[in-house]
Amino acid sequence: MGKMIVAIFFGLVLIAGGASTSVAHHAGGVEVGDLDTGSVVGQPFKELPVDAEIQAIEFGGIKAWYPPTTVVDFKSRTGRPVVLKVTNNSTAEHGFFMTADAAYEAPSVLKIKLVLKPGETKYIGIPTSDLFYATTGSTFIYTCHLHPAHVGGTFVALGR
């Protein structure tokens, strides 16, 4: 049996044993919940400011996530987690899927997926480590994974 070496570098865990090598992303984890009961990295949602509100809306026969672009400026804020308030203001069930990977392939990339009933609101807490270390860019897309024809949007993390 060969030696096993474990090294941690800037949020990455590298494990080498024998002839095989594995790299895995290590971060705090995205949490989805209600305002009164949800939390992220030990901080209750109700004690954190909401950084952005995103809503499923219907207008003129078009179903979309609004706003089409959501920007959070990290140059002037602390390292606290990002909190998104996501509401379905439409008459049908909608999915919310946010990722940094347009191909949805990498196992370590940020992926958030939930389904909202009409009128339902959920809060999403994202540790800053998940935003900045799980991707090479600072742009994330959000779409309705239940209805691909619906208009999605973009989340931009400035100051990266």
- pLDDT tens per residue, the chain (160 residues)? 444 444 433 344 433 444 333 333 344 588 999 999 999 988 999 999 999 999 999 888 889 999 999 999 888 777 889 999 999 999 999 999 998 765 555 556 788 999 999 999 999 999 887 877 655 568 889 999 999 889 999 999 887 5
Q: Are 114 and 134 a contacting pair, CB within 8 Å? A: no
Instruction: Please state, in angstroms and as integers, the Cα–Cα distance from residue 52 to each residue in 1, 6, 18, 70, 124, following that order.
Output: 51, 38, 47, 7, 10
Tell me if 152 is assigned to some domain: yes
Closest CA relative to residue 83, chosen from 37, 35, 151: 35
Q: Is residue 2 part of a domain?
A: no
Q: Where are the alpha helices (DSSP H) in the chain?
A: 128-133
Domain count, the chain: 1
Output the pLDDT for position 27. 47
Identify the domain containing residue 108 by its residue range: 28-158
Is residue 154 assigned to a domain? yes
Q: Is residue 140 situated within a structural domain?
A: yes
Residue 83 lies in a domain: yes
Alpha carbon distances (Å) from 96 to 4, 32, 139: 40, 11, 16
Is 1 contained in some domain?
no
Residue 19: inside a domain: no
Instruction: List the beta bridge partners of residue 155.
Output: 70, 140
* CATH number, position 149: 2.60.40.420
Q: Is residue 15 part of a domain?
A: no
**Residue 129 DSSP label:** H
Integer Cα distance of 138 and 95 in angstroms: 22
